[in-house]
Amino acid sequence: MLDWVGYLFPRFRKAPEGEPRVIVRNGESLEGILRRDRMNRDEVESEMRLAGIGRMDDVA
């Protein structure tokens, strides 16, 4: 149904997807953004491992 609404009203296409956010910068997690998005460091590290990133220090 959301695809149909996005097709009819292009302005609303981004609403269900949201905007991308930087949650790690220079090897440090941005705690305020993590809190706002209801995420924790363990979740971020898990997704990083799935993407092939071994350590948070490897993130620019």
Confidence of residue 8 (pLDDT cuts 50, 70, 90): confident
Each residue's pLDDT tens digit, 41-55: 999 999 999 999 988
Range of the domain at 54: 18-60
Q: Which pLDDT does position 46 carry in this prediction?
A: 93
Report yes or no on 3 lying in a domain.
Answer: no
Domain count, the chain: 1
β-pairing verdict for 24-25 and 28-29 = antiparallel
Report yes or no on 34 lying in a domain.
Answer: yes
DSSP code at position 60: -
Report yes or no on 4 lying in a domain.
Answer: no
Report yes or no on 50 lying in a domain.
Answer: yes
Report yes or no on 2 lying in a domain.
Answer: no
Both tokens of 5, joined, read 């609404």
Report yes or no on 41 lying in a domain.
Answer: yes
Grouping H, G, I as helix, E, B as strand and the rest as coil, residue 15 is coil
